[in-house]
Chain A
């Protein structure tokens, strides 16, 4: 049975973006890939990417002339912690 998710918290959106970046590994993820995976508007994407860079959770790089984003060590630690908290909350039936 799938659960209908009517509302995604900002923290979950940021975590979804970071998961997409992590799934691309060393190559990093481009903005279009993140936009589709996290299901965001372009304005929101720009705003959240800036926020993640500012918090040093991701970094921007150039790959064959294209802009890509990579997870930092701090970002990896954050994502690990988020997954633990997500499991904990889900075990009690609390959506985050």
Chain B
């Protein structure tokens, strides 16, 4: 990572922290909905956003600790690099778990089945060669399901959800091509942030409109 990247990393941490808080708000709302309706898919949705928030906060804490607090510049020593790799792996693992839960909870028709869930949870262990690719594939399924839902219900709330998931999907696409390009990395984080803002708008409008 280039030294001039550090101020940008702080901005990235701010984006991710706010996105994590939004994920917690959505998890809270989904839990509330589950308590009232006993719909299992709402519980899966809630767990998904909760797991995603945990992943985001651990990523923020890990990055903040190594890059900002320790003030690492230039070459990173191997021990720190290993720890950062572990933090990133945990982050990807939690993201995959969360997106797997989104795939299950937002799919159209039927009820959530446990075997599918187990398979999805095992995916990161079975295929750890390219976690980002798995994340993109899972998110693609979520986006398609959100689009199909919007095409059916045609509500503005469903449009917000589709937009939110689509922006999060774009974030992963840009991230995959970012490599050492800090600006692309920041763009990807900005896209994710906007995606969560769209989801937050949905929750806000659902509560406000009569």
A54 within 8 A of B: no
With contacts A84-B206, A84-B207, A96-B42 taken as known, whether A90 is within 8 angstroms of B36 at the C-beta atoms is: no
Interface string of B34-55 (1 = CB under 8 A from A): 0011110110010000000000
B149 within 8 A of A: yes
B95 within 8 A of A: no
A33 within 8 A of B: no
Q: Are B39 and A91 in touch, CB under 8 angstroms?
A: no
Interface secondary structure of B, over-half rule: helix
Say which size band chain A's interface belongs to.
10 to 19
A81 within 8 A of B: yes
A47 and B201 alpha carbons, distance in the complex (Å): 39
Q: Are A87 and B37 in touch, CB under 8 angstroms?
A: no
Taking the closest CB of chain A, its distance from the CB of B47, in whole angstroms, is 13
- The interface residues of chain B lying within 8 Å CB-to-CB of A93 are 106-108, 145-146, 148-149, 152-153, 158
- The interface residues of chain B lying within 8 Å CB-to-CB of A87 are 155, 157, 206, 209
With contacts A88-B203, A91-B202, A91-B206 taken as known, whether A96 is within 8 angstroms of B37 at the C-beta atoms is: yes
With contacts A1-B152, A91-B158, A94-B105 taken as known, whether A11 is within 8 angstroms of B41 at the C-beta atoms is: no
B160 within 8 A of A: yes
A83 to chain B: closest residue by CB? B210
B161 within 8 A of A: yes
- The interface residues of chain A lying within 8 Å CB-to-CB of B149 are 91-93
Q: Which of B39, B152, B202 is the one whose CB lies under 8 Å from A96?
A: B39
A interface residues (Cβ-Cβ under 8 A, vs B): 1, 3, 9, 11, 81-82, 84-85, 87-96
Q: Which 8 A-B pairs give the minimum distances between C-beta atoms? A: A93-B149, A91-B157, A96-B37, A85-B33, A91-B161, A87-B206, A94-B41, A91-B158
